[in-house]
Chain A
Amino acid sequence: MTEPLMTLTGVGKSFAGTDALADISLEIEPGKVLCLLGDNGAGKSTLIKILSGYHAPTTGTIEVDGKQVVFSSPRDASAAGIATVHQYGGTFPLMSVGRSFFVGAEPTKGWGPLKYFDKATANKVAIRELKSLGITRINDGNRLVGGMSGGERQSLAIARAVYFGARLLILDEPTAALGVKEAAHVLKIIMQARQKGIAVVFVTHNVLHAMTVGDRFAVLIHGRKADDFMKGERTREQITDLMAGGEAMAELEAEIAQYESQA
């Protein structure tokens, strides 16, 4: 087993007294995809925000490369190589592809007070990186990001993270709003990142998507880790039941069956 990139031990988070997250222990390994599953409100986004430095955990510790760290801002986390892509790509819809790709890390040309933002290079690199992820439709870095499809925007955000040397890529429901083909494309990009040795945390509601790319799985229920297993250790039905809290799903299915028999 490889050395984990990040280790969470007993991590919890409470907001004004209520526990959104409690006692989460996880290991995130380079070159592996960890799927974070759970129903609405289970605490997935809260956990991600802790990983990416938005929230400080109330309890527990985080280690990166075996050393304990405290992120006091998203900046600290990105300095440690942690890149987070939020649901809508975390990109800037009204900015051009080239501009948004380099926000916060703009390439410059020239010297002293005449140093200027080298947009030609920014456009060229952004388009090249998109191409390397199989996005060939966009070939003009001056295009607005808002004019790209959901999958293309996710790809742009992932391309950006990979380009800037992310070691851990956190994706919050990257396939949720996408059609079948685009979702498959994003899953393929996740596999590409994995192959480069990047650790991926993949949040999703979609068990099928998770099973397609996941090496390891963690299921959250009401802020607690309900299960934690490796690829191939559970069936799709078992995972679905677990996510929904088991019995509730069985009841619902029984009800649906009733309607079907009436029809």
Chain B
Amino acid sequence: MSIDLSTATLKAMPSPPPEAKESPFQRMTRRPEMGALAGTVLVFVFFSIVGGQNFLSIGGASAWLNVASELLIIAIPVGLLMIAGELDLSVGSVLAASSMTLAIISGYLGLPMIIGFVAALGIGALAGLVNGIITARTNVPSFVVTLGMNFGLAGITLGLSRAITGTTSVPITVDPVFKNLFGSLVGGQFEVAIFWAIAVALVIAWVLQMTPWGNWVFAIGGDKDSARATGIPVPRVKITLFVLSGLGAAFVGVIQTCMYNSAQTTNGQSFVFNSIIAVVIGGVLLTGGYGSVIGMVLGAITFAIVNQGIYYTGWSSDWASFILGALLLAAVLMNNTFRRLALSSGPKKTSGKKA
């Protein structure tokens, strides 16, 4: 007995009929970002009703836009890392280290702003580089590596600022150029960070969707070994992603320092989890391999609306945490369902829907 391949059987083998092409709209409805959009609309409507006119006022809008923007500058690179299958829990301490660096160099020591600025971003890049090299060269999960970095760097920042300045909070007089670029309010209420966030979102969205490098990020998160086999320089891409994440956190450190004319060693720790929450609500899979910048933007906006909207309701802000927790859980469940559907074979799943 053997399988007859040459002629009859295979010719007679009916190939399933071609699937109907999906319209871009149909394809969109099956993406997890649609869930993120639904979440954003839901919380916006909810707080519009409960928070009323004040939430909808310019002041209300600027409140959540400001929060969303700072969050996004950190969350987008963190989200890229998550798409590539890695986590970064060190953004909190990187932010603090960066803002202390700027305040000590250009405030306490009185050196030119530009030196403090470059050093602050340099600290972020360096922390990312260390995270990246350790993660890429050893098999230690980035979860542990960056958690270690978050604690270690917090310690160094605290220790050094006490040793140098004798305090944990350092004031700085920000020169006007830097104030305008990073720490000013547009129209009296809108942080200039909003524009930076838009720029970061546009650039990273382009890179992720439209460049070969972006394709590599998806491939690495999808299957590291297959990605390596195709010749992608996996360690180099990962190290670059960690550096970007460090730079994002350091940049927000600079923004906050210029904004508030001072730096504290304890700044920034809330970003560690908030960035992950925003990214996951935005439809990025915790397991890697899937996600989009538009989703992250929606996730950050949803987070910010809940986080700020609560102040317009007259309720305790504890309820904001509750709502965010519930949203996060719902998002994870939805993302998992999406993943399961995407990974199950096509024919059965789609044939019934469209014929």
A118: shortest Cβ distance to chain B, in Å? 10
Is A142 a contact partner of B215 (Cβ separation < 8 A)?
no
Partner pick for A212 among B5, B343, B344, B347, CB 8 A cutoff = B5
Is A105 a contact partner of B230 (Cβ separation < 8 A)?
yes
Is B229 engaged at the interface, CB distance under 8 Å to the other chain? yes
Is A212 a contact partner of B2 (Cβ separation < 8 A)?
yes
Partner pick for B226 among A91, A143, A211, CB 8 A cutoff = A91
Is B2 a contact partner of A211 (Cβ separation < 8 A)?
yes
Chain A, 22-71, CB within 8 A of any chain B CB: 52
B102: shortest Cβ distance to chain A, in Å? 30
The digit string for B256-281, where 1 denotes a CB below 8 A from any CB of A, is: 00000000000000000000000000
Determine the chain B residues whose CB is within 8 A of the CB of A135 once the complex forms: 15
Determine the chain B residues whose CB is within 8 A of the CB of A146 once the complex forms: 342-344
Chain B, 160-200, CB within 8 A of any chain A CB: none
Chain B, 210-236, CB within 8 A of any chain A CB: 210-212, 214-216, 218-219, 222-223, 225-232
**Cα(A92)–Cα(B83), bound, Å:** 13
Is B215 a contact partner of A99 (Cβ separation < 8 A)?
yes
B27's nearest neighbour on chain A, judged by CB, is A142
Is B18 a contact partner of A136 (Cβ separation < 8 A)?
yes
**Cα(A136)–Cα(B18), bound, Å:** 6
Is B230 a contact partner of A103 (Cβ separation < 8 A)?
yes
Is B137 engaged at the interface, CB distance under 8 Å to the other chain? no
Is B219 a contact partner of A100 (Cβ separation < 8 A)?
yes
Is B223 a contact partner of A90 (Cβ separation < 8 A)?
yes
**Cα(A149)–Cα(B179), bound, Å:** 57
Chain A, 86-115, CB within 8 A of any chain B CB: 86, 90-95, 99-100, 102-106, 108, 115
Is B314 engaged at the interface, CB distance under 8 Å to the other chain? no
Is A208 engaged at the interface, CB distance under 8 Å to the other chain? yes
Chain B, 329-346, CB within 8 A of any chain A CB: 339, 342-346
Name the residue among B9, B18, B222 with the largest chain A CB count within 10 angstroms.
B222
Is B10 a contact partner of A185 (Cβ separation < 8 A)?
yes
A211: shortest Cβ distance to chain B, in Å? 6
- Known A92-B226, A94-B339, A148-B345; contact A188-B5, beta-carbon cutoff 8 A: yes
Q: Point out residues on A near B: beta carbons under 8 Å.
A: 52, 73-75, 78, 84, 86, 90-95, 99-100, 102-106, 108, 115-117, 134-140, 142-144, 146-150, 181, 184-185, 187-188, 191, 208-209, 211-213, 236
Provide 8 A-B residue pairs closer than 8 Å at the C-beta atoms, listed in order of the A residue: A103-B232, A104-B219, A106-B215, A116-B211, A117-B212, A135-B15, A137-B346, A142-B27
